[in-house]
Structure formats: structure tokens, C-alpha cells
């Protein structure tokens, strides 16, 4: 009996174990099935179904499902983006040891997205994930060291963490090592090594590395410059949705590098990149509208695009927004806002913006004139290689503003700027030679420098060459050559050149006397505020040359010139018959 009892108990126990085992197996199979089906739906971008299945799996304790729910919320896949909910689910998964969720928490903390910005917490979570062997976390720690925003910048530590991630096959870390070699950060500058790492990452499908390879071919760094190869790599990356590459393709079309120059095609690529949130592309679109390239010139549209890029933290765009406010192009002129945007960009080490701040101080625009502040800002920009700032420093020394007047120092700074192709400084060197300021007077040297400035498109340099031909200084007097140079300057909007062309026609210098032509050119110059031209129009009316004699008209033009301080006009007013 006892034996029978034990047997039944044994059979019953076996039954219970078998039944319970099957139940457990069925339970885990069901949970796994939900999760696997969710992953399949997720891969197929059926996010509504995936979300529903992940929730079921998460309710059964599946940690991976919890992390995926966080991903869906943070990306707004199939439902409104909700970073706060993403934070909740990442926390749940991280508490159960999910390293991907820890990485997600770090990203939320670093951007202050759905949670208060906290770099320390971000770094802690990445360290926890890295300790679990998560390569994304290792790469993120490397990026944090490389950028120096989450923790103090340390390129050596960045390299260490990137190498840890690379040991686990992380392509973004390979690309980042390439970036360190590209700029010589923590390692000797080595384009060949950079290309090596970019190629490794590119073979693993990393679009940033493909873009980097395109950049090297575009500029000829470490390889022979090859725009076709650059285009090939940019297109590969663009196919993968890389917005930087889309922008770079636009850049090649804009300049006609490796492809026929095509502003419309460039604009199309810039717009594709901008639609993907690329601030550089937005800035390029703004520049196209500002200059009327590939589109009708539209300052308001330019401002819209530049402002969008500036709000995304693009320093160049911030500087351009400041410039638009300063000049009042398409928007009301506002020096205070110009200063604000220049300073924002300057805080990001933008040399053009620093120059802009200095210019506002120099000219007292929106602030009191302060030459020392101007000099300080110009010096900051010059230290970053900004040629315009160097030229401005030379101008301060030339005039003795904020510094002791020193023509020799002016020459030093003008030469620095001219060596970088700055046309205004190039022209000013000619001016110093022309006047014998800081150097022996030398008209031939003046002519050389004026022509160099002219070759750079500087309207004042072009005008000055004409002046030397007119007066036979440093070269034989030649009115016809002078007129050619004046017309070139006038085409660039130079009012003094327009006025001098009028004078040539009035006096028959190098051309037949033509008072009507003289009047036309004087009128153009006068519309740009040229007092001499206003005076000369008055003289034509007073003498009835090219126009009907009219003392009232003569008086009106002499008065305009006199208001601008032109003494000859005041003298002529006294001679006119009483009204």
C-alpha cells in the first residue's frame, strides 16, 4: 500500500512537473513570440503594430521591449513624439540592466530632452552602459571627450574610448578616429590615417565616413584632388540620407566642380539637405536668395533661411543674420539685433562675427564709438586669420583711432591682409605709396598695388588706376585709358568714377565734348550722394550746357552740394542772380 501510494505520488509529481514545465515553456514562447513579432513589425516600419506588441511583451517583463517602446516615443514612430514617455521607458529598461536604454537616457540628459539637461547624469549612464560592453556608449563617451561640452575636452581619452568601441566593431567610432586624424586632435595630423579609418567605416555603411572621404577628395587632402570621386562618395552618403553630403553635392553644383555649374541643381540639393534639418544647407539657400543666384534676389526669403539656420546654432548663419540687421536688407535696420547676433556667433569663435562687432564699435552703430573695443574685437578675429579684421586694424593705425597714429603699423597690417587676398587692404597699400605715408612716395608702386586691388574686383582700386592715368602719375598720362578704368569702377557703383566720367565728357578729355553724356553721368553720381557731381549739374544749368539754362535748377543743385559741405557750391550760390 505504501509502495502504491509512493508510486502515485511519483506519477502525480511527474505530471505536475511536466504540466508546469509545459506551462512555463508556453508562457515564455508566447512572450518571445510577441517580442519577435514586434521586432519584425518594427523593421517593416509598421510602428502601430510594433508598439502594441512591444507593450504586451513589456507587460510580461521583456526588457528589450521596454527599451524599444522608449525608442518609438523618442523618434515619434507611429505616434506623437514624447520624450518624457521615452525617459520613463528607458528608465524601466535601464533599471533591469538594459545597456541600450542607458545610452538612450544619456542622450536625453545631454540634450535636456524630456528631462532637465544634466551632462553629469548623461556621462554616468554612458559609463554604466560601457561597463556592460555597449559600444554605442563607448563611442558616446569618446565624443564627449572630443567635443568637451559634457566633460572637459581630452582628445587622448577620446581616442582611448573610440578604440574600445572599434574593438567591438563600431563604425561611428572608426569615423571619429578618422576625424581626430583629420584635424590633428590628440594625434599628429595625418590625412592618410584619416582616410584609412574613414574607408573602414565606409565599408560598414557609415554615411558620415563616406561624406568624409568625399570631403578629402574635394579638397585634395591626403589624396589627389578629384571632384568626380568626391561626388561619388557624397552620392553614396546622400543615398543613405546623409544631409551633409546632400549639401556638399549642392556645393559642387554651385561651383561647377566635377559637374557643369548649375545653380538650380545646387539649390535643389541644398533644399533636400535643409529638409533633413541641415543648417549649412539653410545658410546656403539664404545666401543664394541674398545674392540672387539660381533664384530672384529676395532679401526677406534670405533672412528666413539664414534665421532658421542660426536658430539651429550655425555660427556662419548667425553672423549673416547680424549682417542683414546691420544693413537693413529686407528687414528694418536694427543695430542692436545686429550686435546680438554677431556676439552669439562670436561666442562660437566665428571670426566674421567678431569683425562685425568691431565694426559696430568703430562706427558707433547701436553703441557708443569705442575704438579700443573695436581694436580688441578686430584683434580676436585677426588671430583667427580673418583678413578683413587685419585690414581694419591697419585702418585704425592709419587714422590713429584707439592707438597712436602709425603708418608703418598700418602698412604691416595691410600687408598681412593683402597676403590673404583682402582687396581693401591691397588698395590701401597703394594709397600709402601714393601719399608717401610710412614709405617713400612711389607712384609706380602705388600703380602696382592699385592694379592688384583692381584684379580682386575692388572698385576703389579700379578708380585709383584711372586717377593715375588721368594725372600721368607713375605712368604716361592717357585720358582714354583713364576713362576705361573709370567706366569699370562706375559699373561697380563707384560714384566718384561716375562723376569723373561726366567731367571727361564735359571737357572732351579722351572723347568728344558731349554735355548730354556729362549730364547723364553727373546725375548717376549725384543720385549716390556725390557732391562734386551735384555742383557740376548746377554748372551745366547755370551755363545752359546740354540743358536749358535754368538758374533755379542751378541754385537747387548748388544747395544740395553745399549741404554736403562742398565749398565751390557755396561760392557759386553767391554769384547767381537774385531770384
Give mean pLDDT, residues 177-184: 96
SS (H, E, C) 466-524: HHHHHHCCCCCCCHHHHHHHHHHHHHCCCHHHHHHHHHHHHHCCCCCCCHHHHHHHHHH
Residue 194 above 80 pLDDT? yes
Nearest residue to 67 (alpha-carbon basis) of 103, 41, 43, 33: 103
pLDDT at residue number 150: 84
pLDDT at site 275: 96
Amino acid 34: pLDDT = 86
Does the pLDDT of residue 525 top 80, yes or no? Answer: yes
State the pLDDT at residue 269.
98
- Average pLDDT value for residue range 213-229: 97
pLDDT for 30 equals 43
Q: What is the pLDDT of residue 149?
A: 84
pLDDT digits (tens, 9 = 90+) for 249-280: 999 999 999 999 999 999 999 999 999 999 99
Measured over the CA atoms of residue 133, residue 137, residue 139 and residue 144, the dihedral's sign is: negative
CB 414 within 8 A of CB 425: yes
Residue 152, all three cell numbers = 572637459
Length of the chain: 579
Q: Which residues contact 178 (CB under 8 A, 6 or more apart)?
A: 193, 194, 195, 196, 197, 198, 201, 209, 212
Helices (H), 277-334: 279-291, 299-311, 315-327
pLDDT tens, 23-76?
A: 443 344 444 578 999 999 999 999 999 999 999 999 999 999 999 999 999 999
Taking the CB of residue 574, how many other CB atoms lie within 10 A of it?
7
3-state secondary structure 340-374: HHHHHHHHCCCHHHHHHHHHHHHHCCCCCCCHHHH
- Report the alpha-carbon distance of residue 115 to residue 107 in Å, rounded: 10
- Over the stretch 115-146, which tens digit does the pLDDT of each residue have? 999 999 999 999 999 999 999 999 999 999 99
SS3 296: coil
Q: Quick one: which of 112, 60, 120, 50 has its CA closest to 87?
A: 112
Compute CA distances 465 → 118, 372, 476, 481, 486, whole Å: 61, 34, 12, 9, 8
| Rounded-to-integer distance, Cα 216 and Cα 79, Å | 40
**In the block, residue with C-alpha cell 568601441:** 165
Q: Say whether pLDDT at 8 is over 90.
A: no
CA distance readout (Å), 83 to 97, 114, 217, 552: 20, 5, 40, 75
Percent of the chain with pLDDT over 70: 94
pLDDT interval class at 288 (50, 70, 90): very high
Residue 286 has pLDDT above 50, yes or no: yes
Q: In terms of C-beta density within 10 A (0-12 exposed, 13-18 middle, 19 or more buried), how is residue 352 classed?
A: buried
Residue of 486 and 150 predicted with greater confidence: 486
- Give the end-to-end CA distance of the chain in Å, rounded to a whole number: 148
Give residue-wise pLDDT tens across range 99-111: 999 999 999 999 9
**pLDDT-based confidence at 4, cuts 50/70/90?**
very low
Query: Do residues 319 and 356 lie in contact, with contact meaning Cβ atoms separated by under 8 Å?
Result: yes
Residues 195, 199: Cα–Cα separation, whole Å: 6
Computed over every residue of the chain, the mean pLDDT equals: 93
Between 17 and 349, residue with greater pLDDT: 349
Query: How many Å is the maximal CA-CA distance in the chain?
Result: 150
Separation between Cα atoms, residue 512 and residue 522, nearest integer Å: 17
Question: Are the beta carbons of 529 and 560 closer than 8 angstroms?
Answer: no
At residue 577, the pLDDT reads 84
Task: Name all domains of the chain by residue range, CATH numbers in brackets.
Answer: 495-579 (1.25.40.10)
User: Within 13 A of 435's CA, how many CA atoms are on the CB side?
Assistant: 12
State the Cα–Cα distance between residues 67 and 44, nearest whole angstrom: 18
Round to whole Å and give the CA distance between 234 and 227. 10
The cell numbers describing 558, all together, are: 548748388
Residues 559 and 551 sit within 8 Å (Cβ to Cβ): no
Amino acid at each position: 500500500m505504501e509502495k502504491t501510494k509512493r508510486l502515485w505520488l511519483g506519477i502525480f509529481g511527474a505530471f505536475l512537473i511536466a504540466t508546469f514545465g509545459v506551462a512555463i515553456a508556453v508562457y515564455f514562447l508566447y512572450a518571445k513570440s510577441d517580442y519577435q513579432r514586434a521586432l519584425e513589425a518594427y523593421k517593416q516600419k509598421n510602428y502601430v503594430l510594433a508598439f502594441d506588441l512591444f507593450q504586451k511583451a513589456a507587460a510580461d517583463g521583456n526588457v528589450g521591449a521596454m527599451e524599444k517602446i522608449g525608442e518609438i516615443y523618442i523618434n515619434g514612430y507611429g505616434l506623437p513624439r514624447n520624450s518624457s514617455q521615452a525617459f520613463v521607458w528607458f528608465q524601466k529598461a535601464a533599471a533591469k540592466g538594459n545597456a541600450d536604454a542607458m545610452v538612450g537616457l544619456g542622450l536625453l540628459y545631454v540634450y535636456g530632452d524630456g528631462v532637465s539637461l544634466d551632462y553629469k547624469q548623461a556621462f554616468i549612464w554612458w559609463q554604466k552602459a560601457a561597463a556592460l560592453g555597449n559600444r554605442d556608449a563607448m563611442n558616446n563617451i569618446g565624443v564627449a571627450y572630443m567635443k568637451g561640452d559634457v566633460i572637459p575636452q581630452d582628445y587622448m581619452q577620446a581616442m582611448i574610448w573610440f578604440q574600445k568601441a572599434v574593438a567591438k566593431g563600431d563604425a561611428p567610432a572608426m569615423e571619429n578616429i578618422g576625424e581626430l586624424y583629420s584635424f590633428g586632435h590628440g594625434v599628429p595630423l595625418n590625412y592618410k590615417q584619416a582616410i584609412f579609418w574613414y574607408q573602414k567605416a565606409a565599408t560598414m555603411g557609415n554615411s558620415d565616413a563616406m561624406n568624409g572621404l568625399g570631403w578629402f577628395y574635394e579638397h585634395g587632402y591626403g589624396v589627389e584632388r578629384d571632384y568626380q570621386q568626391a561626388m561619388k562618395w557624397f552620392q553614396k552618403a546622400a543615398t543613405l540620407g546623409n544631409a551633409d553630403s546632400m549639401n556638399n553635392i549642392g556645393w559642387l553644383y554651385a561651383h561647377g566642380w566635377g559637374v557643369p555649374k548649375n545653380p538650380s541643381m545646387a539649390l535643389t540639393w541644398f533644399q533636400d539637405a535643409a529638409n533633413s534639418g541641415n543648417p549649412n544647407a539653410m545658410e546656403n539657400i539664404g545666401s543664394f536668395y541674398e545674392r540672387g543666384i539660381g533664384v530672384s534676389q529676395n532679401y526677406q526669403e534670405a533672412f528666413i533661411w539664414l534665421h532658421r539656420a542660426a536658430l539651429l546654432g550655425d555660427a556662419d548663419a548667425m553672423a549673416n543674420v547680424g549682417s542683414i540687421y546691420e544693413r537693413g536688407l529686407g528687414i528694418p535696420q536694427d543695430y542692436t539685433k545686429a550686435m546680438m547676433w554677431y556676439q552669439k556667433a562670436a561666442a562660437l569663435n566665428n571670426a566674421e562675427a567678431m569683425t562685425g562687432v568691431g565694426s559696430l564699435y568703430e562706427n558707433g552703430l547701436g553703441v557708443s564709438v569705442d575704438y579700443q573695443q573695436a581694436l580688441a574685437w578686430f584683434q580676436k578675429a585677426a588671430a583667427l586669420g580673418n583678413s578683413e579684421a587685419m585690414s581694419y586694424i591697419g585702418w585704425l593705425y592709419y587714422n590713429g583711432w584707439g592707438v597712436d597714429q602709425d603708418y608703418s603699423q598700418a602698412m604691416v597690417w595691410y600687408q598681412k591682409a593683402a597676403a590673404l587676398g583682402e582687396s581693401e587692404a591691397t588698395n590701401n597699400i597703394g594709397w600709402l605709396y601714393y601719399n608717401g605715408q610710412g614709405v617713400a612716395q612711389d607712384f609706380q608702386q602705388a600703380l602696382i598695388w592699385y592694379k592688384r586691388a583692381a584684379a580682386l574686383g575692388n572698385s576703389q582700386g579700379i578708380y585709383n588706376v584711372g586717377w593715375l592715368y588721368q594725372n600721368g602719375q607713375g605712368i604716361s598720362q592717357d585720358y582714354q585709358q583713364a576713362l576705361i578704368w573709370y567706366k569699370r569702377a562706375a559699373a561697380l557703383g563707384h560714384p566718384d568714377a561716375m562723376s569723373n566720367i561726366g567731367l571727361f565728357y564735359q571737357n572732351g578729355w579722351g572723347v568728344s565734348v558731349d554735355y548730354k553724356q556729362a549730364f547723364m553721368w553727373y546725375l548717376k553720381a549725384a543720385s549716390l550722394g556725390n557732391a562734386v557731381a551735384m555742383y557740376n549739374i548746377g554748372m551745366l544749368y547755370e551755363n545752359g550746357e546740354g540743358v536749358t539754362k535754368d538758374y533755379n535748377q542751378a541754385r537747387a543743385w548748388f544747395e544740395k552740394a553745399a549741404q554736403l559741405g562742398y565749398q565751390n557750391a557755396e561760392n557759386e550760390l553767391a554769384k547767381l542772380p537774385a531770384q
